[in-house]
C-alpha cells in the first residue's frame, strides 16, 4: 500500500519535526479537532515528540465519545424490546450509558447487531420484515451523507420496520463553543480533514475572521499532521490568522456538493447535547419533518431524549485544555479505560485514556 | 428473532451447497440409541477411523510413552464455520496441535467432542469431518476418543468443537516467558492478522477483493526445524491466537517483568489485511492468527532463527520484530513512523471497528 507509506516516511517525519522545533520561539497551544487525528498523533508518538515545543489539546472530535449518555440509554432500552434489533457501528458498543454500555445490554439479552454501513442496516430490515431495525446514527458531517442515503433507501423500499436514533453532531459549533469559553487556551486549530472532504472549508473563513485564530485543514497520516502543525506554527510565529488547506489531495474548498445536498434534504440543524459539554447550539442534525416517520424517538413514543446532566466527569476542562487528565480527581481511580466515566476515557484515543497509559510513563 | 431458526439462514458462507433432500441432525442423534450409532458409524468413524477409535471403548487405551506429557484443551466456536483458508474442523486440529508444538511437545493423541445444533445438515458435518481427518493426517495426530451431543435448535450456533490434545515433551523444552532476559530477540513467523480479518470479512460479508485468507495451519514443522537448528537458544514460543501478537507480548512482559519492544515496520502485514485494518480502524497487532507464532530467542540467535523459518513456505516471511529490554514503565512498546517508543495497547476484549 504505497499510498500510506508515502505519508509515513520516517526521514521526512524527522525533517518536519526538526523544522517545527527550529521555528518555534514560544509555547503554542494547538487543538486537533478530530478523534482520528488524536489517534494518529498518539499512535505515532507525535504528541510526545512535541512536548515542550507545541502543546496539543485533544479536541472533542470523536462522535462516539461525545454522544450523550441519554441517547445511549435510549438505544439500550430499545434493544431490550423483543421486536427490536439495534444496529450500530462497532465502536459505539463499549461507550457507557448511565446503566452500562450496549455491550452490557447485549450480555443481558438485548438484540444488537454490528453493521459496517447504514445501508447494511437497511438491508437487514428488508430481509427480515417482521423485525424492527433501529440504526444508531452517530457521526460528524462525514457519516451524515451515508445515513441520509439509508433513509432514502428505506423510503424507496417503503420499509416500515426501519428507523434511526439520529445522534449526528456538527464540528464547527463545538469549536465555537470552545473558543467562546472564558477558559479557552486554543491558539490554532487543525481542522478535521474528513469532515472538510464533505463540507469543504469555505465556512471556516468567517470563523477565522471572527476569532482571529489560524485554522489549517489537516489529514490523518503522520506526515499530514506534522505538516499541518508546522503550518499552524508558521502562522502563529508570524502573528497571522489564516485559513489554509494542507490536505489538498482530498479536500476542495466547496467540499462534496452532492453529499451536502443529500444531508440538506434529510436533516436540519438542531441544538444537541454533547457528552462532556452540555447542549451546544446548532451542534447537531435531526430529521426534517418530512422524514420523521423514520425517527425512532417518535416511532417508539419518546418525545425527546432528555439531556443527561453534566456529571462529575471533568471532560470539558480536559477538552478546553484547562486541566490535564491526571488532574481530574477520578482519573485512574473511578475512571479507567475498562470502566470509563467520561468521553475522553471512553475510546482508546481519547485524551484521558491516552494519559492513563502514558501518564504512567511521564510521572517519575 | 428469526435468524437462527432456519438452517438455510446459517452463515455457512463458503461454497457449501446443501442438497435439497439434505438430512439434518435431530435430537434423536444425541440420545444414545440407534440413530446415535448410525451418526458415529456412518459419519464420524467413516472419516476419522483409526486403531484406537475403532474399539469404541469408553476410554481409549493408549501405549506407554517415555517422556513426560503435555496436555492441552480448547474449544472452537468460530462463526462462520467456513472461512477463506479454513473451517472450524481444520482450525480445531491445527489449534490444538499448535498449542502442543509451541509448548515443546510432539503431538500424539487428541479427543474430539462435537456439540451439534438440532437441524445441522449432515452433509456439512461430513465436510467438516473430512477437513478434521485431513488436518490430523497432515500433523500425524491420532483422534483417539470422542463424544457427540445434540442440543435443541437455538442453543448453539450450528456446531461447537472441543478438543483435548496430548503430546510427549521433547528436550529441549522451551523454558517459557518467565526466563526471558534483556537483549533476547523477538521474531514473528509470518504476516499477522490474517485469520481475524478473514473471519470478520466473511462473517460480515464485507465483499472484499481479493479475499483475505486465514493463516489457519500447522506450526509443527517450523517448530521442529527451530528445535533441531537452535533448540537451546529458544526461550519461548506462542501461537498468537485471540488478542493477536499484542496479547502474546503483554503476557510475556507480565511473566518476565521486562519490557518487550517491537518495530512496526518490521512486522509483516499483507496488503489486504492492512487495507481492511486501515479502513475499519483496527490494529493488525490485535487481530487473531491461527498459524503464526511469536518466538523469543537468546541474544544473537535471531538471524539464525529467521533463516531457519524462511527455509519452508509456511514461514517464508518470518522477521525479527523486536527485542527485550529492562523494565521501563510500559510493558510493551512499539516504534512507528517516528522513532519514539509508544506503548502498545493490550487488547481490551475483541476489536470493534471504528467509524471515526
Ligand atoms: S479521567 Fe474520566 S472522569 Fe476525569 S475527565 Fe477524564 S474521562 Fe472524565
Q: Is residue A307 part of a domain?
A: no
Q: Is the pLDDT confidence value at A250 over 90?
A: no
Of the pLDDT bands very low, low, confident and very high (cuts 50, 70, 90), residue B21 is: low
Residues B164 and B232 in one domain: no
Q: Is residue A136 part of a domain?
A: yes
pTM for this prediction: 0.86
pLDDT of residue B301: 97
Q: Is residue A262 part of a domain?
A: yes
What value does the mean pLDDT take over residues A313-339? 86
Residues A274 and A134 in one domain: yes
Residues B216 and B163 in one domain: no
Of the pLDDT bands very low, low, confident and very high (cuts 50, 70, 90), residue B9 is: very low
Residues A123 and A76 in one domain: yes
Domain boundary among A245, A267, A291: A245
Q: CATH number of the domain that B223 lies in? A: 3.90.650.10
> Do A111 and B2 lie within an 8 Å CB cutoff?
no
> Do A43 and B336 lie within an 8 Å CB cutoff?
yes
Q: Is residue B291 part of a domain?
A: yes
> Do B356 and A348 lie within an 8 Å CB cutoff?
no
Residues A163 and A84 in one domain: yes
Q: Is residue A338 part of a domain?
A: yes
What value does the mean pLDDT take over residues A328-337? 90
pLDDT of residue B306: 98
Residues B11 and B143 in one domain: yes
Q: Provide the domain limits for residue B99.
A: 7-169
Sign of CA dihedral B310, B314, B319, B325: negative
What value does the mean pLDDT take over residues A336-344? 83
**Distance from C-alpha of B344 to C-alpha of B330, rounded to nearest angstrom:** 8
Q: Provide the domain limits for residue A99.
A: 68-168+256-300
Ligand 1 touching residue A342 (CB < 6 A): yes
What value does the mean pLDDT take over residues B131-159? 95
Which residue's alpha carbon is at the smallest distance from atom 7 of ligand 1? A342
Q: Is the pLDDT confidence value at B2 over 60?
A: no
Residues B282 and B237 in one domain: yes
Residues A189 and A209 in one domain: yes
For a mutational test of ligand 1's pocket, the pick from A66, A310, A318, i.e. the residue with the most ligand atoms closer than 8 A to its C-beta, is A318
C-alpha cell at A197: 472532504
In the sheet that holds B159-169, the strands lie side by side as B69-76, B159-169, B105-117, B142-151
Residues B15 and B140 in one domain: yes
Q: Is residue B332 part of a domain?
A: yes
Which residue's alpha carbon is at the smallest distance from atom 1 of ligand 1? A331
pLDDT of residue B10: 44
Burial class (CB in 10 A: 0-12, 13-18, 19+), A241: middle
Domain boundary among B169, B190, B220: B169
Domain boundary among B169, B186, B206: B169
pLDDT in tens, B293-305: 999 999 999 999 9
**Distance from C-alpha of B177 to C-alpha of B156, rounded to nearest angstrom:** 36
Average pLDDT, chain A: 89
pLDDT in tens, A144-165: 999 999 999 999 999 999 999 9
Instruction: Determine the length of chain B.
Output: 356
Residues B203 and B337 in one domain: yes
Q: Is residue B188 part of a domain?
A: yes
Domain boundary among B138, B169, B200: B169
Residues B249 and B281 in one domain: yes
Of the pLDDT bands very low, low, confident and very high (cuts 50, 70, 90), residue B17 is: low
Residues A114 and A47 in one domain: no
Q: CATH number of the domain that A59 lies in? A: 3.40.50.11750
Which is higher by pLDDT, B341 or A257? A257
Lowest-pLDDT choice from A165-179, B6-20, B22-36? B6-20
C-alpha cell at B224: 521442529
Residues A37 and A112 in one domain: no
Shortest-distance atom of ligand 1 to CA A312: 3
Q: Is residue B2 part of a domain?
A: no
What value does the mean pLDDT take over residues B216-232? 96
For a mutational test of ligand 1's pocket, the pick from A95, A323, A333, A341, i.e. the residue with the most ligand atoms closer than 8 A to its C-beta, is A341
Q: Is the pLDDT confidence value at A214 over 60?
A: yes
Which is higher by pLDDT, A132 or A334? A132
Our count of domains for chain B comes to 2
Residues A99 and A204 in one domain: no
pLDDT in tens, A23-77: 999 999 999 988 788 888 888 888 888 988 999 988 877 788 889 888 999 999 9
Residues B193 and B332 in one domain: yes
| B43 within 8 A of B29, measured Cβ to Cβ | no
pLDDT of residue A230: 97
Of the pLDDT bands very low, low, confident and very high (cuts 50, 70, 90), residue A278 is: confident
Residues A264 and A134 in one domain: yes
Q: Is the pLDDT confidence value at A357 over 90?
A: no
Residues A98 and A152 in one domain: yes
**Distance from C-alpha of A274 to C-alpha of A84, rounded to nearest angstrom:** 26
What residue has cell string 437497511?
A122
Q: How many CA atoms lie within 13 A of B230 on its CB side?
A: 22
Which is higher by pLDDT, A317 or A82? A82
pLDDT of residue A360: 46
Our count of domains for chain A comes to 3
Q: Is residue A305 part of a domain?
A: no
Q: Note whether A13 contacts B: Cβ–Cβ < 8 A.
A: yes
Query: Closest partner residue to A1 among B271, B342, B352, by Cβ?
Result: B271
pLDDT in tens, B82-118: 999 999 999 999 999 999 999 999 999 999 999 999 9
Of the pLDDT bands very low, low, confident and very high (cuts 50, 70, 90), residue B11 is: very low
Contacts of residue A335, defined as CB under 8 A and 6 or more positions apart, other chains included, come to A313, A328, A341, A342, A345, A352
Q: Which chain B residue is nearest to residue A348, measuring alpha carbons?
A: B345
C-alpha cell at A63: 462522535
Instruction: Select from B196, B223, B227, B226 the least CA-distant residue to B212.
Output: B196
Q: CATH number of the domain that B155 lies in? A: 3.30.1330.10
Average pLDDT, chain B: 90
| A29 within 8 A of A185, measured Cβ to Cβ | yes
pLDDT of residue B22: 61
Q: Note whether A60 contacts B: Cβ–Cβ < 8 A.
A: no
pLDDT of residue A303: 57
Q: Is residue B155 part of a domain?
A: yes
pLDDT of residue A4: 67
Ligand 1 touching residue A347 (CB < 6 A): no
Burial class (CB in 10 A: 0-12, 13-18, 19+), B273: buried
Q: Which chain A residue is nearest to residue B337, measuring alpha carbons?
A: A10
What percentage of chain A carries pLDDT values higher than 70? 94
Q: Is residue A76 part of a domain?
A: yes
Q: Is residue A310 part of a domain?
A: no
Q: Note whether A163 contacts B: Cβ–Cβ < 8 A.
A: no
Which is higher by pLDDT, B47 or B87? B87
Residues A144 and A212 in one domain: no
Q: What is the rounded radius of gyration, in angstroms, for the C-alpha atoms of chain B?
A: 21
Q: Is the pLDDT confidence value at A191 over 90?
A: yes
Which positions in chain A touch B335 (Cβ < 8 Å)? 45
Residues B60 and B122 in one domain: yes
Q: Is residue A311 part of a domain?
A: no
pLDDT of residue A277: 82
pLDDT of residue B14: 43
Residues A127 and A73 in one domain: yes
pLDDT in tens, B249-284: 999 999 999 999 999 999 999 988 998 888 787 899
Q: Is residue B43 part of a domain?
A: yes
Q: Is residue B95 part of a domain?
A: yes
Residues B299 and B274 in one domain: yes
pLDDT of residue B291: 97
Residues A137 and A189 in one domain: no
Q: Is the pLDDT confidence value at B227 over 60?
A: yes
Q: CATH number of the domain that A269 lies in? A: 3.40.50.11740
Amino acid at each position: 500500500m504505497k499510498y500510506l507509506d508515502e505519508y509515513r516516511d520516517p526521514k521526512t517525519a524527522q525533517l518536519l519535526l526538526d523544522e517545527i522545533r527550529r521555528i518555534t520561539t514560544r509555547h503554542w497551544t494547538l487543538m486537533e479537532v478530530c478523534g482520528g487525528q488524536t489517534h494518529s498523533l498518539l499512535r505515532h508518538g507525535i504528541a510526545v515528540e512535541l512536548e515542550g515545543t507545541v502543546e496539543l489539546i485533544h479536541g472533542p472530535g470523536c462522535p462516539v465519545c461525545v454522544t450523550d449518555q441519554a441517547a445511549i440509554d435510549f438505544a439500550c432500552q430499545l434493544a431490550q424490546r423483543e421486536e427490536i434489533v439495534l444496529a450500530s457501528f462497532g465502536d459505539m458498543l463499549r461507550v457507557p450509558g448511565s446503566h452500562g454500555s450496549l455491550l452490557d445490554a447485549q450480555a443481558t439479552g438485548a438484540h444488537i447487531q454490528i453493521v459496517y454501513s447504514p445501508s447494511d442496516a437497511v438491508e437487514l430490515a428488508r430481509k427480515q420484515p417482521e423485525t424492527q431495525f433501529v440504526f444508531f446514527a452517530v457521526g460528524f458531517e462525514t457519516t451524515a451523507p451515508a445515513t441520509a442515503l439509508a433513509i432514502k433507501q428505506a423510503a424507496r423500499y417503503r420499509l416500515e420496520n426501519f428507523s434511526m436514533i439520529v445522534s449526528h453532531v456538527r464540528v464547527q459549533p463545538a469549536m465555537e463553543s470552545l473558543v467562546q469559553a472564558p477558559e479557552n487556551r486554543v491558539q490554532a486549530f487543525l481542522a478535521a480533514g474528513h469532515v472538510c472532504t464533505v463540507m469543504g472549508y469555505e465556512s471556516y473563513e468567517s470563523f477565522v475572521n471572527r476569532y482571529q485564530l489560524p485554522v489549517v485543514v489537516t489529514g490523518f497520516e503522520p506526515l499530514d499532521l506534522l505538516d499541518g502543525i508546522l503550518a499552524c506554527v508558521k502562522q502563529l510565529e508570524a502573528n497571522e490568522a489564516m485559513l489554509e488547506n494542507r490536505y489538498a489531495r482530498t479536500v476542495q474548498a466547496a467540499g462534496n456538493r452532492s453529499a451536502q445536498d443529500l444531508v440538506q434534504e434529510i436533516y436540519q440543524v438542531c441544538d444537541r447535547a454533547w457528552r462532556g459539554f452540555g447542549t451546544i447550539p446548532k451542534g447537531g442534525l435531526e430529521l426534517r419533518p418530512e422524514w420523521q416517520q423514520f425517527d425512532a424517538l417518535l416511532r417508539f413514543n419518546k418525545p425527546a431524549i432528555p439531556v443527561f446532566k453534566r456529571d462529575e466527569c471533568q471532560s470539558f476542562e480536559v477538552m478546553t485544555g484547562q486541566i490535564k487528565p491526571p488532574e481530574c480527581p477520578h482519573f485512574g481511580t473511578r475512571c479507567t479505560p475498562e470502566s470509563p466515566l467520561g468521553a475522553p476515557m471512553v475510546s482508546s484515543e481519547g485524551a484521558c485514556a491516552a494519559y492513563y497509559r502514558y501518564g504512567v510513563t511521564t510521572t517519575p | 428473532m428469526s435468524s437462527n431458526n432456519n438452517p438455510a439462514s446459517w452463515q455457512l458462507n463458503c461454497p457449501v451447497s446443501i442438497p435439497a433432500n439434505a438430512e439434518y441432525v435431530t435430537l434423536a442423534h444425541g440420545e444414545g440409541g440407534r440413530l446415535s450409532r448410525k451418526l458415529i458409524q456412518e459419519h464420524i468413524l467413516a472419516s476419522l477411523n483409526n486403531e484406537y477409535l475403532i474399539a469404541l471403548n469408553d476410554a481409549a487405551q493408549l501405549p506407554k510413552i517415555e517422556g513426560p506429557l503435555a496436555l492441552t484443551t480448547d474449544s472452537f466456536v468460530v462463526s462462520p464455520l467456513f472461512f477463506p483458508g479454513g473451517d472450524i474442523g481444520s482450525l480445531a486440529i491445527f489449534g490444538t496441535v499448535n498449542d502442543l508444538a509451541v509448548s515443546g511437545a510432539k503431538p500424539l493423541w487428541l479427543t474430539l467432542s462435537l456439540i451439534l445444533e438440532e437441524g445441522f445438515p449432515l452433509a456439512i458435518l461430513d465436510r467438516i469431518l473430512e477437513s478434521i481427518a485431513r488436518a490430523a493426517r497432515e500433523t500425524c495426530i491420532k483422534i483417539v476418543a470422542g463424544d457427540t451431543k445434540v442440543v435443541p435448535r437455538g442453543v448453539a450456533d450450528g456446531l461447537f468443537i472441543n478438543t483435548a490434545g496430548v503430546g510427549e515433551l521433547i528436550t529441549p523444552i522451551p523454558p517459557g516467558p518467565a526466563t526471558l532476559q534483556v537483549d533476547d530477540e523477538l521474531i514473528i513467523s509470518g504476516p499477522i492478522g490474517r485469520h481475524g480479518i478473514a473471519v470478520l470479512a466473511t462473517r460480515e460479508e464485507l465483499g472484499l477483493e481479493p479475499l483475505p485468507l486465514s493463516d489457519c495451519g500447522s506450526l509443527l514443522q517450523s517448530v521442529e526445524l527451530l528445535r533441531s537448528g537452535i533448540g537451546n537458544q529458544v526461550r519461548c514460543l506462542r501461537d498468537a491466537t485471540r488478542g493477536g501478537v499484542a496479547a502474546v507480548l503483554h503476557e510475556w512482559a507480565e511473566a518476565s517483568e521486562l519490557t518487550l519492544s517491537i518495530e512496526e515496520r518490521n512486522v509483516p502485514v499483507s496488503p489486504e489485511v492492512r487495507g481492511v485494518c486501515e479502513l475499519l480502524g483496527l490494529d493488525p497487532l490485535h487481530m487473531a492468527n491461527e498459524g503464526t507464532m511469536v518466538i523469543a530467542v537468546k541474544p544473537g540467535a535471531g538471524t539464525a532463527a529467521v533463516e531457519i523459518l524462511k527455509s519452508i513456505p509456511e514461514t517464508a516471511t518470518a522477521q525479527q520484530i523486536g527485542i527485550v529490554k529492562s523494565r521501563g514503565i510500559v510493558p510493551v512498546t512499539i516504534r512507528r513512523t517516528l522513532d519514539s517508543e509508544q506503548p502498545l495497547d493490550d487488547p481490551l476484549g475483541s476489536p470493534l471497528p471504528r467509524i471515526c
